[in-house]
Amino acid sequence: MDQFIEQIITGLSIGSILLLVAMGLSIIYGSMGIINLAHGEFVMLGAYAAWMFHTYLGLGLLASLVPIFLVVAAFGWVIERYVLSLLNNRPLDTILATWGVGIMLQQAVRLMVGSELRYVQLPPALSDSMDVFGQSVSSYRVFLFVVAMALFAATWLLMNRTTVGMKLRAIIQDRSVAASFGINAKRVYALTFAYGAGLAGLAGALVSPLKSVSPDMGTGYVVDAFMVVVLGGVQSLAGTVASAFVLGELSGAIAFLQNDTVAKAIVLLAIVVLIRFRPEGLFTARVRA
């Protein structure tokens, strides 16, 4: 029983990291139809920003979260404005363009800060462990779970309870009709992309104390995040949450029974089959086509 609870908690922990990384991707893909292969690099930028704020300004991780969000969001805004907005109606080409941008970001960081591994300190207040259902769990992992859920709530409110969110939903339904009602689609898209990038940056900063920071750390995340988005279904934020935790539990469980490699292979295969038979994702209700 203890082992079972431990497994569940491990799964939740993996799931909350997946959710953090996938949320920005889900918003960008779901609302703009852009497959953002530079997403992993936004995660990486966030992690490096955390390291830099700490090393050069002496800021702790928690204090630098807001500036990190803003910095990475600014990167996202520039990229949307000067690269992606030129690629309207060419969804396949956005894969290529964002991948090129990703390479540039990765190389630029490598040239400027070097490719050696960097480490970010755990916030001292969260470095102990606490008791959850009779299990001792690191406080930081509990914190990550809480932050992931809080960010999800904030994003949901932003999409469904604010004017910008309403404009975005109008554009998703019909861009030209929305535009004829005076909505500035370009501006909303740029803001959306910036927000998604900012979330990725936050994710990078938040996972940086758990893993080492390197220029190519984003590559692994982007693949996992994609699987979450595909499984959860495009345009469904709640689906992203559900699939992040399902995938988290699943990879935790298979890794426990077999090994990491097998876990990864099985999850990937399951997703391939899923795309074929349910391309709209597991957690979306079929609305009108």
In the complex, which residues of this chain contact other proteins (CB under 8 A)?
35, 83, 86-87, 90-93, 95-97, 99-104, 107-108, 110-111, 219, 223, 226-227, 230, 259, 261-262, 264-265, 268-269, 271-272, 275-277, 279
Nearer to other proteins, 38 or 142 (CB): 38
Give min distance, CB of 35 to other proteins, in A.
6
Nearer to other proteins, 170 or 270 (CB): 270
Nearer to other proteins, 162 or 259 (CB): 259
**Surface-to-core class of residue 176, CB atoms within 10 Å of its CB (0-12 exposed, 13-18 middle, 19+ buried):** exposed
Q: Which residues share a beta bridge with 118?
A: 213
Nearer to other proteins, 171 or 230 (CB): 230
Give min distance, CB of 67 to other proteins, in A.
26
Helices (H), 162-259: 163-173, 175-180, 185-207, 218-232, 237-257
Residue 206 contacts by C-beta under 8 Å, 6 or more apart in sequence? Answer: 20, 61, 65, 144, 147
First to last CA, the chain: 45
Give min distance, CB of 34 to other proteins, in A.
10
Q: Which residues share a beta bridge with 136?
A: 131
Give min distance, CB of 272 to other proteins, in A.
5
Answer yes or no: are the C-beta atoms of 53 and 67 closer than 8 Å.
yes
Give min distance, CB of 28 to other proteins, in A.
13
Distance CA 125, CA 27 (A): 32
Nearer to other proteins, 64 or 235 (CB): 235
Nearer to other proteins, 69 or 189 (CB): 189
Give min distance, CB of 74 to other proteins, in A.
19
Residue 255 contacts by C-beta under 8 Å, 6 or more apart in sequence? Answer: 262, 263
